[in-house]
Amino acid sequence: MRLLLIRHGQTPANVDGVLDAVVPGPGLTELGQRQADALPAALADRGIERIFTSTMVRTQITAAPLAAALGLEPVVLPGLREIEAGDTQGKRDKVSVQLYISTVHGWSGGDRSTRMPGAESGHEFFARYDDAIRQVEASGVAVAAVVSHGAAIRTWASAAAHNTPDEFGTKRHLENTGIVELEGSSAEGWRLVDWEGEPVGGEELVDRTAQDPTGERF
């Protein structure tokens, strides 16, 4: 099957550089809503048959215009939520951001036993995200849109794709409504097809001033 892993639209936390992974979390900024509104036209020819979101509000709001355009009802999967922030939740200082990033970077480097302070380990993150993707596959569709989160998509997709090194996502940015496209299956392996790091609606939907630690290169 083909997976379109779509990062949600911009949130206030993205603008301010705040680590925010609590469910249900914030909605979108005005720019974030415009980014979401650009998805139907940008993805009209991708053959999307089902849409999946996380339990976090920002993914559901982002998916809504695309779902309406395609006449689909999004399916909510808890495992698609952002990597938990634990002790760094709600913080934006350099030490906290570096702690979050270095932990995720370590998972990408192969040390999945390390735990995000006060939250999940790499093994736990990959287990719940893998399970969510298997549920997407069980829908039986050929093309699925999965609206998820910056750190989660970058970390999982790089590890899942057999044609990239596991740390690939740490070197690539994924701005709000950027898309990572994979094809394959959990059983046979995934292949990275494309990494569209910019918002799909074009340059006018890019916010160069946002602090956004989960979308920039780790």
Per residue in 5-44, pLDDT tens? 999 999 999 999 999 999 999 999 999 999 999 999 999 9
Average predicted confidence (pLDDT) for the chain: 95
In single-letter form, the type of residue at position 127 comes to A
Clarify whether 8 is annotated catalytic.
yes
Q: pLDDT band at residue 107, thresholds of 50, 70 and 90?
A: very high
Q: What is the pLDDT of residue 213?
A: 80
Q: pLDDT band at residue 105, thresholds of 50, 70 and 90?
A: very high
Q: What is the pLDDT of residue 147?
A: 98
Q: What is the pLDDT of residue 207?
A: 85
pLDDT tens per residue, range 177-195: 999 999 999 999 999 999 9
Q: What is the pLDDT of residue 66?
A: 98
Q: What is the pLDDT of residue 104?
A: 95
Active-site residue, from 30, 49, 73, 82? 82
Mean pLDDT of 47-71: 98
Number of domains the chain is built from:
1
| Domain assignment present for 213 | no
Q: What is the pLDDT of residue 217?
A: 55
| Domain assignment present for 210 | no
Clarify whether 196 is annotated catalytic.
no
Q: pLDDT band at residue 211, thresholds of 50, 70 and 90?
A: confident
| Domain assignment present for 15 | yes
| Domain assignment present for 215 | no
**Residue 196 sits in a domain of what CATH number?**
3.40.50.1240
| Domain assignment present for 62 | yes
| Domain assignment present for 212 | no
Mean pLDDT of 104-119: 94
| Domain assignment present for 41 | yes
| Domain assignment present for 154 | yes
Domain that holds residue 17: 2-205
